[in-house]
Structure 1
Amino acid sequence: MPELPEVEALRDFLDEHLAGRVVERVWPAAVSVLKTYDPPLTALHGRTAGPTARHGKFLALSFGDLHLVTHLARAGWLRWQDTLPATPPRPGKGPLALRLALEGGGGFDLTEAGTQKRLAVYVVHDPAEVPGIARLGPDPLAEGFDRDAFAALLTGERRQIKGVLRDQSVIAGIGNAYSDEILHAARTSPFKLAAKLGEDEVTRLYEAVESTLAEAVERSRGVAAGRLKAEKKSGLRVHGRAGEACPVCGDTIREVSFADSALQYCPTCQTGGKPLADRRLSRLLK
């Protein structure tokens, strides 16, 4: 899933490649992708693209007083093409969800792999009209998001810190991968209750949030849209690396599986050497 650093890199990429270009046509290729109908997609035809904004994991492309907002969900992506196919796309079961063609050639496709279609597109006058954006918590890289602001978000939170970090209504932009990376950098168990974190632990976690995201944004800066996924994977230290050696201590990275996701962590660095209970695996072994 594209998270804050990748979406920020896509924003930079679109500012460079899309801004100032005129929309020729927009085609929806998947029935499920469009979440609004007024204004219609055709209202974008002939409009000139302005700057792109990021709201958490949402991209908001501006066209005058209209915005094309998209959330790429778990398996979605934006694929820029200098030359688009000559024939218009046909609705079907393939990965193509939406195509935007520009006058003079080129444009981009929004695609989504897999069978669960969650990629969403909205055409609105104000990005705040999108329910997911209206519910977002503060951006962790925004000015004013300091240690005290972060600590206030954790006050009274009786949930595990892994879930709190991923909750977009608490903090915007952090998903499954970077929450694993942040917790590893902060030497914090993903199962620890947020409200039980001590002052030093809160400070370490805040610093890990800021440094992990800032470093990932810097690594992604200037990377072409088509290579951002590979760049993300190459920079991850624990997420997606179960069975490999921890780059800090050398212990074996372990995994806890859930119904539709998994987390990875280092026992030595994060849990005092104790493996976390993997309830899904335990049920399979009974």
Structure 2
Amino acid sequence: MPELPEVESLAAFLRTHASGHVIARAEAASFAVLKTFDPPLSALTGLTIGDITRHGKFLDLSCGDLHLVMHLARAGWLRWRDDIPDKPVKPGKSPLAFRLVLDNGSGFDLTEAGTQKRLAVYLVRDPMLVPGVATLGPEPLADDFTVESLAAILKERRMQIKGVLRDQHIIAGIGNAYSDEVLHAAKMSPFKLASSFTPEETATLHEAIVTTLREAVDRSAGLAAADLKGEKKTGLRVHAKTGQPCPVCGDTIREVSFADSSLQYCPTCQTGGKSLADRRMSRLLK
């Protein structure tokens, strides 16, 4: 799933390649992808793309008085094309979900692998009309995301810290991969209760959040959209590295599996050498 660093890099890529261009056409290739109906997609034709921003994991293309807001979900991606065929897209079973064509013939496709179609496109007059955007928590790379604001988030929240970091209503932009990376950098168990954090631990977690995300954004800076997935995979230390040695201590990276996801961690760095129970229970194996 694209998370804050990848979406930030996609926004930067599109600012270079799409901002200032006129939209020739916008087409939905999937009946499920377009979540709004007023205004219609045809309203984009002839509009000039202005600034391109990010809200959590949402991309926001400003087009005149309208905003084209996109969420790539778990299996979606943006594929830039320098030359898009003139032939209109047809709804079908292909991975193609949405296409935007610019005045010079270039543009991008939104594609989604798998059978669970969650990729979403919204055309709105205000991005706050998108439910997922309106309910986002604070941006972790914003200046006002301080140690004190993080402490207020954690206080009295009896949730595992892994869940807090992944919840977009609590903190925007961090998903399964970077929550693993943040907790490894902070040397904290993913099952630690948020309400149990001391001031010192909160400061350590804040530093890990900001540093991990900024480093990932910096690594992706200037890359083409097609190269971002590979860079993310290369830059991860523990996520999706089950069975490999921890790059810090050399211990074997372990995994906890759930119904539709998994987390990875280093026992030596994060849990005092103990293995976490590989089930939904939030306790350590005795």
TM-score by length of structure 2 reads 0.97
Instruction: Output the amino acid matched with 2:17.
Output: H
- Paired with 2:45 and 2:73, the residues of 1 have a C-alpha distance of 26
- Paired with 2:61 and 2:2, the residues of 1 have a C-alpha distance of 17
Q: Considering only aligned residues, what root-mean-square deviation do their CA atoms show, in Å?
A: 0.7
Would you say 1:278 and 2:264 are equivalent positions? Answer: no
Q: How does 1:3-152 map to 2 (within 5 A)?
A: 3-152=3-152
Q: Deviations over 1:12-48 (max 9, x none)?
A: 0011000010111111000110000000000000101
Match of 2:195 in 1: 195
Aligned length: 280
Q: Which runs of 5+ in 2 are unaligned?
A: 281-286
Instruction: Output the amino acid matched with 2:213.
Output: L
Instruction: Output the amino acid matched with 1:46.
Output: G
- Paired with 1:193 and 1:279, the residues of 2 have a C-alpha distance of 17
Q: How does 1:223-242 map to 2 (within 5 A)?
A: 223-242=223-242
Match of 1:284 in 2: none
Match of 1:246 in 2: 246
Match of 1:261 in 2: 261
Runs of 4+ in 1 over 4 A off after TM superposition: none
Displacement of 1:197: 1.5
- Paired with 2:236 and 2:85, the residues of 1 have a C-alpha distance of 35
TM-score by length of structure 1 reads 0.97
Match of 2:179 in 1: 179
Larger CA deviation: 236-245 vs 195-204: 195-204
Displacement of 1:199: 1.8
Instruction: Output the amino acid matched with 2:128.
Output: A
**Identity across matched positions, percent:** 67
Match of 1:283 in 2: none
Displacement of 1:86: 3.4
- Paired with 1:251 and 1:71, the residues of 2 have a C-alpha distance of 36
